[in-house]
Amino acid sequence: MDSLGQYDENDNIPNRVVKYLLMVKISPSLRGFDYLQTAIELCLKDGAIINHVTSELYPEVAKEFNVTGSIVERCMRTAIDNAYKNGGLLGINNFYNKVVYKNDYKLTNAELISLIVENVRLDVLK
């Protein structure tokens, strides 16, 4: 399935996205939080955009916030780095209710976005 397609407004996708970002301890005080949230929501609408992170996703997010794609990428990376250093990415284990991640590997921007996109899709399709 390329995208989430039509979903019910009652699914409250933005709240689900925020819930997952908070589960992995991405700090809402960082600009990267908003950029990640927007990127995830864009990927839910158009699943193919995750395959073109640098050429399409970052510029699309940047346009919404009136910044450059490189700023978007750097702020996302900083937010993920902070979560990694604080052990926040261990929250990924809460997605699956078992240990699948041991904080021995820092996820890339695209990996974290993809992971959250798939979990939101699974939530909505339940």
| Rounded (5°) CA angle 86-68-48 | 80
Encoded tokens for 100: 């699948």
Predicted pLDDT of residue 10: 53
Predicted pLDDT of residue 100: 84
Contact call for residues 123 and 109 (beta carbons, < 8 A)? no
Predicted pLDDT of residue 4: 47
Contact call for residues 39 and 33 (beta carbons, < 8 A)? no
* CA dist., res. 117 & res. 54, Å (int): 18
First to last CA, the chain: 15
Percentage of the chain surpassing pLDDT 70? 90
- Which has more pLDDT, 93 or 42? 42
Residue 111, pLDDT above cutoff 50: yes
* CA dist., res. 123 & res. 22, Å (int): 16
Q: What is the mean pLDDT of the chain?
A: 90
